[in-house]
Amino acid sequence: MEEKQLIEKAQNGDKKALAELVKNYEQTIYNFAFKICRDKNYAEQIMQETFYSMVKSLHQFDYNSKLSTWLYRIVANHCLMMARKVRSRPFVSFDDDEENLFEEKYAADWNTIPYKVAENEELKNILDNAIQNLSPDYRLVFLLRDVEGLSTEETAQVTELSIPAVKSRLHRARAFLRKEINQAFT
């Protein structure tokens, strides 16, 4: 069944259609929540909150955006709320040291960075640590645009930022993460 039909049925109270929609997006939402908070328990909690919100407000969904974009917006909000609640470490501030982001030293030989992320726990730890030094607003932009593959416009829609603001956060996040990995392999 087409997604549009599923949505219409779900909006009219069809539980089967609603369950189908949830199933279609649960893995994406769980994975995304994990990528923001880097914790499986929090990821599950955020996923539950996201679908609870979706069920409650699906009748308001008006096809002005894709359902996926609409869901990213909900999950992003829940991620930010969670981050505020459990904030555990200081985040990097870009005001003073943006220049340092573009250091020209190449300590790590990038070609040796194991490409098989799935099997390498050390690399996973490095990736978790690096991204957790970014404030959640920056994480969101990087993950939506670069990892989930949303367009710059869609990312702006989800985060309610202007396009220049998305671009500015994106390039800082990219440069920062690259630098962290570079240093970790030094």
Using an 8 Å Cβ cutoff, are 128 and 121 in contact? no
Query: DSSP string spanning 4-20?
Result: HHHHHHHHTT-HHHHHH
Structure-token pair, residue 117: 């992320």
Total number of residues binding other proteins (CB under 8 A)?
48
- x-or-dash string of contact with other proteins, 152-181, rule CB under 8 A: x--------------x--xxx-xx-xx--x
**Alpha-carbon distance 148 to 72, whole Å?**
10
- x-or-dash string of contact with other proteins, 121-140, rule CB under 8 A: --xx--x---x---------
- x-or-dash string of contact with other proteins, 18-57, rule CB under 8 A: xx--xx--xx--xx--xx----x--xx--xx--xx--x--
CB < 8 Å & 24+ apart, contacts of 132-135:
132/38, 132/89, 133/89, 133/91, 133/92, 133/176, 133/180, 134/91, 134/92, 134/173, 134/176, 134/177, 135/91, 135/92
Of 92, 113, 161, 184, the one binding other proteins (CB under 8 A) is 113
Under the binding rule (CB under 8 A), the answer on residue 83 touching other proteins is no
The residue ranges that bind other proteins (CB under 8 A) are 15, 18-19, 22-23, 26-27, 30-31, 34-35, 40, 43-44, 47-48, 51-52, 55, 102, 104, 106, 108, 110, 113, 115, 117-118, 123-124, 127, 131, 142-143, 145-147, 152, 167, 170-172, 174-175, 177-178, 181-182
